[in-house]
Amino acid sequence: MYLVIGLGNPDKKYLNTFHNMGFISVDRLAEKLGVEFNKVECKSVTAHARVNGEKVIIAKPVTYMNLSGQAVVELTNKYKIEKGKLIVVYDDVDIPLGTLRIRKNGSAGTHNGMRNIIQLLGTDDFPRVRIGIGKDTPMQLVDYVLSQLNEDDKTTLAPVFDSAADALLEFTQGTDIDKVMQKRNIK
């Protein structure tokens, strides 16, 4: 069984913001799998699918970004997710806008949602898909990540969301994370 977590904020006002890259990516994955987010559980809305005969739970925490770890811990405990079968997708201000970086593990960097997940799970040893949002503005970080995407941003990010969803799908198909990284990391 696989657990795919997309990070974001649940209110509609955050729908098209930089901080919702994870939600947008898992929405694309759900579309590819033909499933809908129709279940509320473990402080998340979830979609359930089968990929190559294995159950896949796709989740969007409703706890707000900085408390995402609560939902991740509840879901991993409920479904007894094995090590190596959890993957998290989120925005990353530390890499340029329009880039995609997949990592096997590592620190949270400047991302408070990831920091909370790592703290509550007690490990940083799980793969993640980072969508670069850069920050080429004097705007405060919180204002930037919660700002609305403009048309240029949407155009730049559209292929990245597709590539992120494809990477998540490959991961849930059992493709080794190193192979997913080689194929999907966008420079």
Q: In sequence order, what DSSP letters do the residues of 99-164 get, joined into one string?
A: -EEEESS---TT-HHHHHHHHHHT---S-EEEEE----SSS-HHHHHTSBP-HHHHHHHHHHHHHH
Per-residue confidence (pLDDT) for residue 187, from 0 to 100: 59
Contact assessment for residue 57 and residue 43, using Cβ atoms and an 8 Å cutoff: no
Q: Catalytic annotation on 111?
A: no
d(CA 173, CA 87): 13
Contact assessment for residue 113 and residue 65, using Cβ atoms and an 8 Å cutoff: yes
* Domain 2-184 fold: Rossmann fold (3.40.50)
User: Which regions in the chain score pLDDT beneath 70?
Assistant: 186-187
Q: Which amino acid is at 78?
A: K
Which position among 19, 28, 60, 184 bears the catalytic label?
A: 19
Alpha carbon of residue 184 to chain centroid: 15
d(CA 96, CA 132): 5
Helix, strand or coil, per DSSP, at residue 85 = coil
The structure's pTM equals 0.94
Per-residue confidence (pLDDT) for residue 135, from 0 to 100: 78
Per-residue confidence (pLDDT) for residue 107, from 0 to 100: 87
